[in-house]
Structure 1
Amino acid sequence: MALRRARSDRRSRRLQRRPATQQFTIGGQSPVRLGDPGDTPVPGQYDGDGRADLAVYHDGWFEIRGVGRYAVGAPGDVPMPLF
């Protein structure tokens, strides 16, 4: 299932996710597992390097690959990625 196009290094690469396994693939690279089934993907620019980062949200928690896990908001909130 294609989610969005992530801009990185002035190239567009397709981001795909398999909800059952919570594996993400960007532009044909090796799959990466992040979060748990049922988490909401919220890729965005979180670490200041100018490239999209993989992230998921679940019940008030953002988990950002390579950055960390943060309590933000409350269960039932709608996540908004940072760009």
Structure 2
Amino acid sequence: MIGGLVATLAGSAWARAALRYGVIALTILLFLLSLRRSGERAGRLAERLETMEKTHDAQRRMFEAAARRPRSRDDLAQRLRDGQI
């Protein structure tokens, strides 16, 4: 009984058209959801990259400051006397 009903519906032109449009709509929906997920992931990666760039910039500035620091108390005293600090 149910098999006959399915065969009848699958055999009718309007049912085939409805099924075709349903499959197309589902495909488009899945594609759009996939695009959204990809966009969210790209946004998270961009945010991570920006954070890493800020961190590296801060580290670079700290390393440059450390390279310019006086090596000993005598060096510090000499710089203070010369007015370089």
TM-score grouping bracket, smaller chain normalisation = under 0.3
Q: Which has the higher strand share?
A: 1
Q: Which has the higher helix share?
A: 2
Structure with more contact order per residue of length (Cα contacts < 8 Å, sep ≥ 6): 1
Taking structure 2 as the reference length, the TM-score comes to 0.15
Name which one, 1 or 2, has greater alpha-carbon Rg: 2
Taking structure 1 as the reference length, the TM-score comes to 0.15
